[in-house]
Amino acid sequence: MPLSAYLSLAAVLFSIGLFGVITRRNTVGILLGVELMLNAVNINFVAFSRFHGTALGMIFTLFAICITVAEIALGLALVILLFRMRRTSTADHIDWLKG
Amino acid sequence: MNPVTLAILALLLPAGAFLLIGVLAPLRRSGRPAAFLSIAAVATSLAAAIRTWQLASGSVEPIRAAWNWLPGANGPLATVGVLIDPQSSLMLILVTLVATLVQIYSLEYLHDEPPAAFGRYYAYHSLFVFSMMGVVLSPNLLQLFVCWELVGVCSYLLIGFWYRKPEAARAALKAFWTTKAGDVGLLIGIVLLYRLAGTWDILELEHMVKGGTLATAGLGVITFCLYLGAMGKSAQFPLHVWLPDAMEGPTPVSALIHAATMVTAGVYLLVRTEFLFHQTPQVLLLVGWIGGITALLAAIMACVQTDIKKVLAYSTVSQLGYMMTAVGAGFAGAGFLHLLTHGVFKALLFLGAGAVIHAVHSNEMHDMGGLFKRMPQVATVFIIGTLSLAGVPAFAGFISKEEVLGATLAGGLTGPFVMLLTGAFLTAFYMSKVVFLVFFAAPAAPGHAHGHTHDDGHHGHHGDPPFLMAGPLWILAIAAIVIGVYSTFFHHAEPEFASPGWLTPVAVAMGLAGIVGAYLTYQTRTISADTLASVFAPIRVAAVNKFWLDDLYLFIYRHILLAFARLIGWTDRYIVDGVLNVISAWTLDGGDALRRIQTGRVGDYIFAVAAGLLVLMLWMRGTL
Amino acid sequence: MGFPILSVITWSPFVSALIIMAFARHRPTLVRMTGVVGSSLSLVLSILLYFKYDHVANGFQFHEFLPLVPSMGINYNLAVDGWGLVLTLLTAIILFAGSFASWTVKTRGQEFYALLLLLSTGVFGVFASLDLFVFFLFYEIAVLPMYLLIAIWGSTGEVKPEGMFGWAFKRVGVGTKEYAAMKLTLYLLLGSAFILVGMLALYTAAGSTSFSFLDLQKVKFDPQLQSWVFLFFYVGFGVLAGIFPFHTWSPDGHASAPTAVSMLHAGVLMKLGAYGVLRLGFGLTPDGAVQWAWLVGAIACVNIVYGALSAMSQKDLKYVVAYSSVSHMGVVMLGMATLTEQGINGSVFQMIAHGIMTGLFFALVGLVYEKAHSREIFKMGGFATMMPGISTAFAIGGFSSLGLPATAGFVAEFLTFIGAWQSAHSWWLIPGVLGAFFTSIYVLRVVKQIFYGAKSTDPHFQDLPDAKGTEWVAIVVLVCILVLFGVLPNLMLGPIDTTTVPLLVKMGVMR
């Protein structure tokens, strides 16, 4: 399979993730979208790694997965805290940054 | 002691007295000790002045001493010093003499003032004497200007001495502003003169004029500007309006500042710079005509006044007009002579009027009448003053007035001469009117008189004033007679000009006619004052309204100057600052509008980031 | 190098500020005493400096040198010439008076004194710096504390927004102290931006080797460059000197600021602007100065007359004084624009004269406000009976303001007028003289309204006390100096002249 197929898959996955992040109102949904986008990047890394014949991309992907875990843990913790404080997990209601 | 030291001593003593009284608050608040210090200083100055005069009249050359005041790269820009010649030393004697007498007189006159005000009064007086002597002794025009302004301030402070009275505060302000308007001219003249001549030194300037090294181009503007200053200070038409109002000050102040000394500073300035004015005949002509007009108009206004001090004030304006006319005719000496004699007898008249006012507690002549019996001494000296002013032979004003009239005629100023002659008649008339109304006629309003007989028991001093007031009066009266007798019968100076033989009889006749006219109108009442008033109705109305000049100035001040200021103030706030504020308000509004973009929703932000990324990618695609 | 007298003068307020912040917490008396000691030290040393200064020699004296960034030519280099000497003295006097005038600051007195002293360090530094970089640093130190001083300790005026721009006035909050502080700061920082650009342009044009004034002075810059750099300096410093139409920060700022801040700001900081134009504009870009003198003079004339007329129309006492500053700073700018010896001497002398008299005015207005709690001129009346001392001092200040001889104001104005008439634009004399006349109208009108006349019947204005105790210090010192310099102007004019003449020779307008 050509590299473009992997990249296309990654692009589609990224777009779906982005779409989710933008349109989802639920904070958990947004986190899921972020996860999709991160994994799209991981696919890119792995694909390039495979086609360039170096292990660098793989290593980076492993790092990314680890960090994603941490990020999700932190993100969920934040969501829970927000829920405790504001009794909502809808992102639109959390507009403290509104000017 | 040499004359310079003496003159400096005379100058510095009152200055020292002023500093001591001004700085040492306990001394000032103690009142009488401050007064004694001030009087001691000015009396010593008088002695020094007399000695200076003796020495100066012995020396042919003027004595001059100067010290650096303002530095400059090419020698000092300005100096301060003294210039002693017969003119300045005579004037010095006049100033110190009148000042000493007035200060002594004031001890009694202001007896009822609280001590602090008393001290303040003498502080101002000392400052005035110092400044006035500074004007007189000044060797250059800049120092003259400096002291000139200082006497203006003293005048302001002393007119406003009873500052709680709104009229006094207003009169002080009016006096300051009006004279300041003239001083603007003087300042411009001095600045202009520096560029033209490179010096302000009177002797040097005179030397340059004589040597013909002074450019005459533009000199006319300079002399005109100098004259503007003199106009304000010496109350020439149309800047005379402040002097009658200045009578709000205590009467001794009026005698010293607004009759004998400060108001004559303008004449003195012209006398000092006579040689410059001779180079510009047009300006000299103007001086003569304005002088004549001032003399006549002020005399007319004096006739319709009912306030004794106002009569004297207008009379002063009128006499200043006489002096100026003589200067304008080209004979400053005649004007200066009249200045000296006028200083003596006008101070006498004011102090006499003060004694009357002190006794009657009113300025209005209606409230007086028949006072000759009650205060014969005051009446006698007042009559001596009146006769001097009317120009009766053997009294002080006689010769000087003759000189002025002769000078005017010799200078070819026929128009002003006629005005002065008419003025001479009116002068005699209104002064005699005062004498008859105040000292001889029965009180015009019996009710008032009754009120005052009631007052008699109340105020103990309803007779001749005590020695402290009477003494100065008698000294001035004797001086007026001595000067008059001496100049009429013994002293025949070589005149600078030839007067026609008919002049003296005509002038004396005018004076006597005025006295007789007043006698018939106000003493015997053969001529009805009301008839006179109706005959001269148009002039009377104009005179009572002060020829509408005050109204004109008030209009200019209120409706032109202040209105313009308000317009500028409005412009500043609403245009200059307004534009700025509108721009800031727009900035704030713009910020408000842009703020809406910040929805605070995560989704929107991410959408913006994604969209931006997309645009960036498309753009990069385009360039690649 | 002996005793670093200039550094001690400059930094002693700063050190006092540190001491106040560190040790005098919640001890108001100690705060005041430290402030007074710090400012007195500067004053005493400034007087000593005056006497040790060689009045005959021209050029800079008391050099102090400390390399900071040698690679870029930045050095800590202090020295004073005639102008710097007299202005340092002026600053010390005003600071001394100001530290007494702040005696009654109640809230956060500690921070107030600290900021005030910090600001003074900046001012001293500007007058003594020979290095443009350090000059600029000090300049900013002098300007920035003002924001806090006005925004925290200021007073909110009684301006009612009305008229066609009323909405805008309400929007930006005209009349509040925050507005005044913000306006002042923004204006001055805008000016700083111009100054910085001008300085850097000269620095690079001269080869980017030295920020030293002395080095840059020797460089003959391209006339084109000089032309626009001078304009930048003129606008940049001119904003601080209150040139029309950038003067509107001054009335609002001075009216809102607390007494001592108004004193220092109108008395000294505005001079910083004029000094900057004179020192950098005339000193470094002489051709530009000659080229633009007509503009400087013309705007100065507008300032004089416009400021005086604006002052005449004000109803708030502080605004009158503030607008009078605008008018008088016009005299300063006019004097230097004449490019004559007398004119520039008059200009520098006017900086001193105006500094002292406006300091006096603001001190007195502060006292009147403290006692009567009003600044509305037309509501007050007859105060002279109750406060004779204040009224006398006010009258003397007023006389100086209208250019009465025997006060410092006269000498300054007179020299300026002489200069104006000798300059290429002799008509400048007329607005100058007219301004002095208008000043006599508005000042004496105010004096009459507030102090003379019948006593006001307003119950708030009964039994007001005169100044007392430490309040006298500021008044007496300033009045005495005002008269002293008026009677003996040589004291100041001597050193000033030794600096003016070489400058004019260098500019080629004087042999």
pLDDT tens profile C316-339: 888 999 999 999 999 999 999 999
- B464 Cβ neighbours under 8 A, 6+ residues apart: B355, B374, B375, B376, B377, B378, B470
Secondary structure of residue C143 in the 3-state scheme: helix
Structure tokens at C281: 């504009």
Q: Would you call B603 and A99 a contact, using CB atoms and an 8 Å cutoff?
A: no
Residues of B with CB below 8 A from A18's CB? Answer: 606, 610
Q: What's the pLDDT at C161? A: 65
**Mutation target vs A (from B596, B601, B605; most A CBs, 10 A cutoff):** B601
Q: Which of residues 427-446 of B touch A (CB under 8 A)?
A: none
Angstrom distance (rounded) from CA B132 to CA B261: 8
pLDDT of C508 over the 90 cut: no
Domains along chain A with CATH numbers: 3-92 (1.10.287.3510)
CA distance B242 to chain C (A): 15
Q: What's the pLDDT at B624? A: 59
- Confidence at B492, pLDDT banded by 50, 70, 90: low
Q: List pLDDT tens digits, range B115-131.
A: 888 889 999 999 999 99
CA distance C435 to chain B (A): 10
Residues of C with CB below 8 A from B590's CB? Answer: none
Q: List pLDDT tens digits, range C483-505.
A: 999 999 888 888 898 888 888 88
- Confidence at B491, pLDDT banded by 50, 70, 90: low
Residues of B with CB below 8 A from A32's CB? Answer: none
Q: What's the pLDDT at B260? A: 87
More confident residue, C108 or B125: B125
Q: If you write DSSP's letter for every residue of B508-536 in order, what string do you get?
A: HHHHHHHHHHHIIIIIS-SS-HHHHHHHT
- Return the H-helix or E-strand segment holding C68: strand C61-69
Contact partners for chain A, using 3 or more CB pairs closer than 8 A, are: B
Q: What's the pLDDT at B449? A: 43
Q: Which of residues 261-280 of B touch C (CB under 8 A)?
A: none
Residues of B with CB below 8 A from A97's CB? Answer: 598, 600
- Measured between CB atoms, does C313 come within 8 Å of chain B? yes
pLDDT of B288 over the 50 cut: yes
Q: What's the pLDDT at C160? A: 66
Residues of B with CB below 8 A from C243's CB? Answer: none
Q: Which of residues 352-371 of B touch C (CB under 8 A)?
A: none
Q: List pLDDT tens digits, range B296-308.
A: 999 999 988 888 9
Residue of chain B nearest A30, judged by CA positions: B603
Q: Which of residues 329-368 of C touch B (CB under 8 A)?
A: 341-342
- Closest CB to C248: pick one of B68, B166, B580: B580
The ipTM assigned to this model is 0.91
CA distance B617 to chain A (A): 14
- Closest CB to C418: pick one of B149, B191, B565: B191
Q: What is the 3-state secondary structure (H, E, C) of B349-409?
A: HHHHHHHHHHHHCCCEHHHCCCHHHHCHHHHHHHHHHHHHHHCCCCCHHHHHHHHHHHHHH
Q: Would you call B188 and C429 a contact, using CB atoms and an 8 Å cutoff?
A: yes
Q: What's the pLDDT at C199? A: 92
Place of tokens 């400034």: C46
DSSP C426: G
- Closest to A29 measured CA to CA, from A21, A39, A38: A21
Residues of A with CB below 8 A from B617's CB? Answer: none
Q: Would you call A18 and B610 a contact, using CB atoms and an 8 Å cutoff?
A: yes
- C175 Cβ neighbours under 8 A, 6+ residues apart: C156, C157, C158, C159, C160, C161, C169, C252
Q: Would you call A18 and B606 a contact, using CB atoms and an 8 Å cutoff?
A: yes
- Assign residue B212 a region (left: φ > 0; alpha: ψ between -120 and 50; beta: otherwise): left
- Measured between CB atoms, does B569 come within 8 Å of chain C? yes
Angstrom distance (rounded) from CA C87 to CA C95: 12
Q: Residue B349 pairs with which residues in a beta bridge?
A: none
Q: List pLDDT tens digits, range B222-273.
A: 999 999 999 999 999 889 999 999 998 899 999 998 888 899 999 999 999 9
Q: List pLDDT tens digits, range C443-488.
A: 999 998 888 887 777 777 777 778 777 888 889 999 999 999 999 9
Q: Would you call A95 and B607 a contact, using CB atoms and an 8 Å cutoff?
A: no
Angstrom distance (rounded) from CA B590 to CA B598: 14
Q: Are C90 and C271 within 8 A, CB to CB?
A: yes
The reported pTM is: 0.89
- Closest to B515 measured CA to CA, from B437, B426, B438: B426
Q: What's the pLDDT at B493? A: 65
Q: Of B197-211, B535-549, C278-292, C475-489, give the lowest mean pLDDT range.
A: B535-549
- Closest to C401 measured CA to CA, from C431, C451, C374, C441: C441
Q: Would you call C313 and B578 a contact, using CB atoms and an 8 Å cutoff?
A: no
- Measured between CB atoms, does C165 come within 8 Å of chain B? yes
Contact partners for chain B, using 3 or more CB pairs closer than 8 A, are: A, C
pLDDT of C314 over the 50 cut: yes
Mean pLDDT on B465-490: 87
Place of tokens 């012995």: B58
Q: What's the pLDDT at C92? A: 93
User: To the nearest whole percent, how much of chain B has pLDDT over 90?
Assistant: 36
Residues of B with CB below 8 A from C453's CB? Answer: 163-164, 166, 169
Q: List pLDDT tens digits, range A20-57.
A: 888 888 888 888 998 999 999 999 999 999 888 888 88
